[in-house]
């Protein structure tokens, strides 16, 4: 199954995959919601997923799809060499992460490998992520280390300038719940405002170098 909000990209991928001889595109989607619904309806062996989607991220779609059916493998195909995104994708259950600069033959080979149960990571972004998996708090500011995974995700969304309502929509939580989380985050970081929390994140984590 192909998930990308650009129709031209999906057309190119579909033609290449269908021409491989042993692979067939069974469904397509352009949003997170469509991806989750299509995966439920078609149960593909492999989902080739873009990271940036209009209504959310490929990471969120991957997590939901894998929660419903762990037999479905997800290959993230993106143009972003963001080790945070790669880390999040792995934590969400993705089996592979390739950059869109990959050659067509390598992509087809990657799909086959993931379908057979292998894992596949682009070497250009693997080393940083493996280091974070070994020691997720290496070099991290002690205040940031206090945050739970959910609080850290919410802080990332705050840093992206999102409102409580937008964050709630992305994480599937009520706006009031997000507001409570934000209060806890501000307390843990010892700051008073959202803008200060965002500035603290950029100043005291690896995020600013991504």
For residue 24, report the phi and psi dihedrals to the nearest 5 degrees.
Answer: -140, 135
Quick: pLDDT tens for 150-187: 898 999 999 888 999 999 998 888 999 999 999 999 99
Write down the residue that tokens 């469904």 correspond to.
Answer: 27
Residue 209 has pLDDT above 50, yes or no: no
**Mean pLDDT of the 2-14 span:** 96
Residue 77 has what DSSP assignment? Answer: E
Name the H helices within 92-174.
104-115, 123-134, 142-145, 149-159, 164-171
In angstroms, the CA 55 to CA 8 distance is 19
Residue predicted with more confidence, 201 or 19: 19
Q: Which helix (H) or strand (E) holds 176?
A: helix 175-189
- For the chain, the average pLDDT equals 86
Q: Say if strands 56-57 and 52-53 run parallel, antiparallel, or are unpaired.
A: antiparallel
Quick: pLDDT tens for 111-163: 999 999 888 876 665 555 555 555 555 556 778 888 888 898 999 999 888 99
């Amino acid at each position: 199954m192909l998930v990308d909000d650009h129709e031209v990209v999906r057309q190119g991928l579909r033609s290449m995959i269908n021409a491989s001889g042993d692979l067939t595109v069974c469904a397509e989607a352009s949003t997170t919601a469509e991806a989750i619904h299509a995966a439920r309806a078609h149960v593909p062996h492999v989902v080739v997923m873009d990271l940036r989607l209009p209504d959310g991220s490929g990471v969120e779609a991957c997590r939901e799809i894998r929660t419903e059916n762990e037999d479905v493998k997800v290959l993230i195909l993106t143009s972003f060499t963001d080790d945070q995104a790669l880390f999040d994708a792995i934590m969400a259950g993705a089996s592979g992460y390739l950059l869109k600069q990959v050659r067509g033959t390598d992509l087809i080979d990657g799909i086959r490998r993931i379908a057979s149960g292998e894992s596949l990571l682009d070497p250009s972004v693997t080393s940083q992520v493996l280091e974070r998996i070994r020691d997720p708090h290496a070099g991290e500011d002690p205040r940031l280390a206090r945050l739970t995974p959910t609080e850290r995700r919410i802080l990332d969304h705050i840093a992206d300038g999102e409102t409580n309502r937008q964050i709630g929509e992305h994480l599937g939580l009520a706006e009031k719940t997000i507001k409570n989380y934000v209060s806890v985050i501000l307390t843990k970081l010892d700051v008073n405002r959202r803008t200060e929390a965002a500035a603290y994140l950029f100043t005291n984590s690896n995020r600013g170098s991504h």
